[in-house]
Amino acid sequence: MSAATAAAAAPRARTGGPKDDGPQILEHVLGWVLVAVIAMLVSQVGLL
């Protein structure tokens, strides 16, 4: 078995990134809520 074959057969290590099985709609909604809150903060402070 060569090194390339061993590397291809080994399972991929998890690096702590987002999981594929999470509630994606909740993440999208929370992301847009964060965008809206930042936009309101920027407009209230007068940075725009």
Q: Is residue 14 part of a domain?
A: no
Reduce the DSSP state of residue 7 to 3 states and report it: helix
| Number of domains the chain contains | 1
**Cα–Cα distance between 42 and 7 in angstroms, integer?**
49
Convert the pLDDT of each residue in 19-43 to its tens digit. Answer: 666 678 898 999 999 999 999 999 9
pTM value?
A: 0.52
Q: Is residue 16 part of a domain?
A: no
Domain that holds residue 41: 24-48
Task: Name residue 40's amino acid.
Answer: M
Enter the tokens of residue 41. Answer: 């903060």
Q: Is residue 6 part of a domain?
A: no
Residue 3 confidence (pLDDT) above 70? no
Enter the tokens of residue 9. Answer: 């057969």
Q: Is residue 29 part of a domain?
A: yes
